[in-house]
Chain A
Amino acid sequence: MIYYRRKERFPNDIRGVDEETKAGGDAGGDFLSLYDQALPYVYGYLLSRCGERALAEDLTSETMLAAVDSTHRESPSKVSTGWLVGIARHKLVDHWRRQALEERRLRSVPGSEVKQEEPWDAQLDSLQIRQTLSRISPQYRAALTLRYIDDLPVAEVAAHLDRTLHATETLLARARAAFKDEYVAGGPDD
Chain B
Amino acid sequence: MTDPFEALREPITPIDPDPAFASQLRDRVESALRTKGDLPTTEPLSSAASPEVMRIGLALGLVVSDKVRGLEWYERALGARRLYEPIDLGGYVPAWVELGGAVLYLTDQSEQPQATQGKTKLPFRPPRPGDNVPSFLILRVGDVDAAAQRAVSEGATLLRGPEDAPPGRSAVIRDPFGHVWDLTEALAHQTVLDRSTRPRSEWDSLGDGVDTKPES
Contact = CB atoms under 8 A, between A and B. Distances in A.
A31 B9 CA distance: 30
Chain A contact residues (Cβ within 8 angstroms of B): what range?
35 or more
B43 interface: yes
A39 B17 contact: yes
Interface residues of B, number: 34
Given A45-B12, A61-B28, A151-B9, A73 B4 contact: no
Interface of A: 5-7, 9-10, 13-14, 27-28, 31-32, 35-36, 39-41, 43-45, 47-48, 53, 56-57, 60-61, 64-65, 68-69, 71-73, 85, 119-124, 126, 129, 144, 147-151, 176, 179
25 contacts: A5-B13, A7-B13, A13-B11, A13-B13, A27-B33, A32-B30, A32-B33, A35-B29, A39-B25, A40-B15, A44-B12, A44-B13, A47-B17, A48-B10, A61-B28, A64-B28, A65-B91, A68-B29, A69-B36, A72-B37, A85-B12, A124-B4, A124-B5, A126-B7, A176-B5
B56 interface: no
B192 interface: no
A41 B12 contact: yes
A6 to B, nearest CB: 7
A43 B17 contact: yes
Contacts of B131: none
B42 interface: yes
Contacts of A68: 29, 32-33, 36, 90
Contacts of B8: 124, 129, 144, 148-149
Contact of A69 (B12, B28, B34, B90): B90
Given A69-B89, A122-B4, A176-B5, A60 B42 contact: no
